[in-house]
Structure 1
Amino acid sequence: MSAYYDKRTKNWYCVFYFTDWKGTKKQKKKRGFSRKKDALEYEREFFDKLPSSPDMPFSDMVELYLADKKMHTKLKTYKTKKSRIYTWILPYFNDKDINAITALDIRQWQGELKGAIGATGELLSPAYMQNLITEFSGIFNFAVRFYNLPTNPCKVAGNLVGKKGKSLDFWTREEFDRFIDTFDKTDPYYAAFMTLYYTGMRIGELQALTIADVDLKEGVIHISKTYSVIDGKEMITAPKTEKSNRDVLIPHFLCEILKEQVQRYYKVPPNTRLFQMSRQPYREQMKKHCKLAGVKKIRLHDLRHSHASLLIELGFSALLVSERLGHESVSTTLDIYTHLFPSKQVQVVERLNKLYEGAL
């Protein structure tokens, strides 16, 4: 028997032992029942719930989640996840048990996000808030999969903060030409921006390129790594995905430009990085030369979108664009750029008509 009568309060209470998610034996005591039956019912419901619901603080689950991500994701990805969670999620839910967080709690948190001010001094963008919701949902999915949490309350709560827009910023060929014409052709940034625009590689991939990676005789750039700075330390790691390991064929004019860039180095080992500028100077150069050229300001990553747009305009297929950009699958390419591909519906109807008429 685990239900007892308290003569002082004239109420019933229950006391029992259970084993928590860590395997530690603990005592549970609950007071304030008017009937013995109610106290015993509470104990029964507690044990019914226990096997399928981790009785742990949300902060403990976060540590388990981040430890898993540290083992299975790139360091930069892990750092980004940790920063988002510690800044925008953990402070709000730190004191709650994970199995006590409800969909209503999450909706209230989303409401607070709408009025939150970010590091830039401005309201958080819908895209960034969606990233936070995705991160939060990932923690619950982890708990459901590995710690028997019954459901993910984020799925019930939904998204109240908006979604990422499908619009892309990119330059047309004319806009890029106006931008690049503001550089002296001996400027290393000239070679760097020409390479970014005509290959579609990521900025980290460009920064990681070595002299050995550029085969000017065959006109091929071998992409097998990426460059980043984490906690002030320069790091060369594997690229974003497995498909990011790729060979990108380049036109003759770009070979000539890169040849001049290689010749800047004299008797250096082949593993010397071809472009040794850090990320911030690239941003500063873009800002300065956009103003000089009178073109709209875009991000460094948007040069990658500009290359994709150029290929699509030239009539190349989604498969080729996917291979050149190093996307994990063609579906990724279509998800990002599908609105840029010209509609072929009219051509389909015309050909079906000709096929039918020919058959008759």
Structure 2
Amino acid sequence: MPVYKDEKVQSNQWYYAFEVKDSDGKRRTEKKRGFRTKKEAEKAEISVKDAMNKGTYIQPTKMTFGDYLVSWLESRIDLRKSTRVGYEMIIRRHIMPESISSISLSDINAMTVEGFMAKVHATDYSDSFKRNIYKVIHKALKDAERKLLILRNPASLVTKPKVAKKEMSYWTEDEAKTFLKAIHGHRLRVIFVLAIHCGMRMGEIRGLRLSDIDTKRGIISVRHIMDSERNLQIGTKTNAGNRSISLSPFVIKEIEKRIDGIAEEKNATSNDYEDLGYLICTKKGRPYLKKNFRDIWIRLLAKTGLRTIRFHDLRHTCASLLLGLGVHPKVVQERLGHSSVQITLDTYSHLAPNMQQDAANALQNLLE
């Protein structure tokens, strides 16, 4: 066995070294140091040769995990800008300063990831943020496995952080009616009509263009979203988020009011108006920042005196009202743009007891 002892070092003196042929026929030396005993070195050498014979061996790389993360993020040109910014922040602030970033990518194992995540768990970060840190590591190592840089994704062997399910807030039918009635005449009332009647997300409403709306056919095509900095991004949160939403006459009327309002504002500001084609915009045609959008919501909510909920909870209100009316969950899923009907059922499982009782009563009435 080509196993050797390096007398120049004080500990872990044993190493193996043997010649192999690359796929192009060139010879190179396969070497690894740092074994405590001759037996350990021999065992490691046998394992490497066995993997080579089976075609499962991956040559160790000197690239550190930190360097890999940087290059990995640069290669992910498919990420939305907001997602990229979030990943970059996690890598720069929460992974690079830790010892895991200086470990060779080849040496990252389940214990390494588990040890790092134990430190993350000990922080006061939210459960969802801890999950996001794990998610970045898992995705990066999954790509490394796909590119044959590592044999297996070690993060897949580590339990991902659990996120406590928050109690959902949503308005009742009376609360939704009261709010829409209270803001009657507001130039941006259509925002809240779209959220409550169509279940659209904030980014989808902010990114809605006039060309996405067909009032004659009564359809909105949701094809993109706007991020917090007013950048329009092609595609929505999920593939299912790219969808067509049917509109009621009431919603069509509200949209037409806003379109008429845009025409009036354009005439009033003349040369100062930027015609960017958005349904929701300032009096000079510019889209709103996410922060400004939320400020409008908070001010209007405070005026009505209604129970405080988040803007996103208007989407939950839409789903809850539809399911309460007996609309099929598949239709609700398609309207909201969930990736599967199971997500819709899981998200709104709190309505199941009432729906079960309604079903029981309906069947009784039918058969009596």
* TM-score, with length taken from structure 1: 0.77
Q: Provide the residue aligned with 1:91 in structure 2.
A: 97
CA contact (8 A) 1:191 1:257 kept: yes
Q: Do the aligned partners of residues 210 and 7 (structure 1) sit closer, same or farther apart at CA in structure 2, a change above 3 Å counting? A: closer
Q: Provide the residue aligned with 1:111 in structure 2.
A: 118
Q: Provide the residue aligned with 2:162 in structure 1.
A: 162
| One-letter identity of the residue aligned with 2:92 | Y
CA RMSD in angstroms comes to: 3.8
Within the alignment, does 1:30 sit opposite 2:29 as a pair? no
Deviation of 1:73 (Å): 3.6
Within the alignment, does 1:16 sit opposite 2:17 as a pair? yes
CA contact (8 A) 1:212 1:270 kept: no
Q: Do the aligned partners of residues 227 and 27 (structure 1) sit closer, same or farther apart at CA in structure 2, a change above 3 Å counting? A: same
Within the alignment, does 1:323 sit opposite 2:311 as a pair? no
Q: Do the aligned partners of residues 335 and 86 (structure 1) sit closer, same or farther apart at CA in structure 2, a change above 3 Å counting? A: farther
Within the alignment, does 1:293 sit opposite 2:304 as a pair? yes
CA contact (8 A) 1:224 1:238 kept: yes
Deviations 1:199-224 (A, max 9, x none): 11122221222223333333332322
CA contact (8 A) 1:211 1:271 kept: no
| One-letter identity of the residue aligned with 1:303 | L
Within the alignment, does 1:284 sit opposite 2:288 as a pair? no
Alignment of 1:10-89 (within 5 A): 13-14=14-15, 16=17, 28=31, 30=33, 35=38, 39-46=41-48, 51-52=57-58, 54-55=60-61, 56-70=63-77, 72-89=78-95
Q: Provide the residue aligned with 2:240 in structure 1.
A: 243
- C-alpha separation in 2, matches of 1:139 and 1:9: 35
Alignment of 1:93-242 (within 5 A): 93-116=100-123, 123-147=124-148, 149-159=150-160, 161-165=161-165, 167-183=167-183, 185-229=184-228, 232=229, 234-242=231-239
SS at match of 1:222: strand
- C-alpha separation in 1, matches of 2:280 and 2:213: 12
SS at match of 1:344: helix
| One-letter identity of the residue aligned with 1:77 | T
- C-alpha separation in 2, matches of 1:162 and 1:7: 49
SS at match of 1:94: helix
CA contact (8 A) 1:54 1:147 kept: no
| One-letter identity of the residue aligned with 1:291 | A
CA contact (8 A) 2:66 2:102 kept: yes
- C-alpha separation in 2, matches of 1:224 and 1:10: 64
Q: Do the aligned partners of residues 5 and 288 (structure 1) sit closer, same or farther apart at CA in structure 2, a change above 3 Å counting? A: closer
CA contact (8 A) 1:53 1:147 kept: no
CA contact (8 A) 1:127 1:165 kept: no
Deviations 1:36-92 (A, max 9, x none): x6554444445556814753421243245424532x343433333333333333433
SS at match of 2:76: helix
CA contact (8 A) 1:5 1:13 kept: yes
Within the alignment, does 1:257 sit opposite 2:239 as a pair? no
Deviations 1:118-150 (A, max 9, x none): xxxxx3221222232233222233333332634
Identity %: 24
Task: Select between 192-201 and 209-218 the one with higher mean Cα deviation.
Answer: 209-218
* TM-score, with length taken from structure 2: 0.76
CA contact (8 A) 2:230 2:289 kept: no
- C-alpha separation in 2, matches of 1:302 and 1:238: 22
- C-alpha separation in 1, matches of 2:300 and 2:204: 22
Instruction: Give structure 2 stretches of 5+ with no counterpart.
Output: 267-273, 282-287
- C-alpha separation in 2, matches of 1:33 and 1:326: 57
Q: Do the aligned partners of residues 7 and 238 (structure 1) sit closer, same or farther apart at CA in structure 2, a change above 3 Å counting? A: closer
- C-alpha separation in 1, matches of 2:90 and 2:179: 35
- C-alpha separation in 1, matches of 2:68 and 2:117: 20
- C-alpha separation in 1, matches of 2:227 and 2:6: 64
SS at match of 1:297: coil
Q: Do the aligned partners of residues 136 and 331 (structure 1) sit closer, same or farther apart at CA in structure 2, a change above 3 Å counting? A: same
| One-letter identity of the residue aligned with 2:194 | T
CA contact (8 A) 1:210 1:270 kept: no
- C-alpha separation in 1, matches of 2:3 and 2:159: 41
